[in-house]
Amino acid sequence: MTSGAASSRAVDIVVVTGMSGSGKSTAIAALEDEGYYCIDNLPTALVERFVELCTGSTDLTPASKVALGLDVRDSSYLENWPQVRRRIEAAGHSVFVVFLESSDEVLLRRFSETRRVHPLAHGRDLFEAIQAERHMLAHLKERSSLVVDSSDMTIHDLKRRFRDVVARHDDAIGPAVTVKSFGFKYGIASDADMVFDVRFLPNPHFVAELRPLTGLDAPVTEYVLCRPETESFLEHLRSMFEFLLPRFVAEGRSYLTIGVGCTGGRHRSVVLAERIGAFLRGRGYTVIVRHRDVERGA
């Protein structure tokens, strides 16, 4: 980039990347609604030049907030993006990378329903193409600012999630915490930064009058919380979070997802996720509590 680019205007760049079929186009549309200048599938080789144009150093109308969709449709993306990102940030611009992913099962269904061709499908069947892309993107996922799993999201859920991302990113007061309950029988919460297994607690599923209820119902909540091992576990968690979260703030972390899992995701994990969320709100953090599997197996 030219030396004058950063001096004209610093550009706030949100990059949407990740697995094909995970909702990147929907995310880009949501960001456009929030006032971002959006380009999907911009060749990586043109990103620096585009950012330079957005600084207002040319006749192009300057843009201070930009969203870019980058992925494996550009054959140079995997090789060139890490270096491009470093140069953009060195020039004084903010780069926030959101990595979208979904489970293999969901991606297979989405491609089958839309009859789209996977960008890596040449010479591979669909499942092989998905696995190849997941392997290729693994190191970029690890270096992303935020990972969003859209497996259990509708289009409207995903748009709301990105509106939250924009609001939180603009405020730049971190971290925003998502506490997600889930059932191990349906797969671990893949977007969780830390996971707690609460299957050691007595299971309300085996109490006839509690089985049809969920952890959002008072009888189940009372059953889970009245156990001394539950209170002891929560005390350990409180101490851990009081130690960890200020350090995440100091490191500039914007988002944190805490996964809480039990067998089916309907009882114990729901109660504990609600309890953790209430504790963190009491400490002043912005908290979203989501129950991924609470309606399964009803």
Domain boundary among 130, 157, 172: 172
63, part of any domain: yes
297, part of any domain: no
Same domain, 191 and 157: no
pLDDT digits (tens, 9 = 90+) for 197-242: 999 999 999 999 999 999 999 999 999 999 999 999 999 999 999 9
Better-scored residue on pLDDT, 298 or 84: 84
Same domain, 61 and 41: yes
Smallest CA-to-CA distance from 198 within 264, 257, 132 is with 264
Same domain, 115 and 228: no
Burial tier of 62 (Cβ tally within 10 Å: 0-12, 13-18, 19+): middle
Same domain, 158 and 26: yes
Cis amide linkage into residue 246, ω under 30° from 0: no
Task: Say what the alpha-carbon torsion angle 85, 41, 118, 102 is, to the nearest 10 degrees.
Answer: 60
127, part of any domain: yes
Same domain, 210 and 135: no
Whole domain around residue 84: which residue ranges? 5-172
| Number of separate domains in the chain | 2
156, part of any domain: yes
298, part of any domain: no
287, part of any domain: yes
Same domain, 26 and 84: yes
What CATH number corresponds to the domain at position 143? 3.40.50.300
- E strands present in the chain: 12-18, 37-40, 65-69, 94-101, 146-149, 176-183, 194-197, 255-262, 287-291
296, part of any domain: no
242, part of any domain: yes
The Cα–Cα gap between 231 and 215 comes to 16
Same domain, 260 and 279: yes
pLDDT digits (tens, 9 = 90+) for 29-53: 988 888 888 999 999 999 999 888 8
Same domain, 98 and 131: yes
Q: What is the pTM of this model?
A: 0.64
Q: What is the pLDDT of residue 190?
A: 81
Query: What are the two backbone dihedrals, phi and then psi, of residue 85, each rounded to the nearest 5 degrees?
Result: -60, -45
Smallest CA-to-CA distance from 274 within 198, 172, 187 is with 198
Same domain, 46 and 144: yes
Same domain, 262 and 186: yes
Smallest CA-to-CA distance from 230 within 194, 271, 193 is with 271
Percentage with pLDDT > 90 across the chain: 54
Domain boundary among 127, 146, 172: 172
CA dihedral sign of residues 230, 236, 242, 248 = negative
Same domain, 137 and 86: yes
Q: What is the pLDDT of residue 90?
A: 87
pLDDT digits (tens, 9 = 90+) for 1-34: 444 433 456 778 999 999 999 999 999 998 888 8
Query: What are the two backbone dihedrals, phi and then psi, of residue 59, each rounded to the nearest 5 degrees?
Result: -75, -10
Same domain, 163 and 181: no
The Cα–Cα gap between 239 and 194 comes to 15
Q: What is the mean pLDDT of residues 95-122?
A: 89
Domain boundary among 172, 202, 236: 172
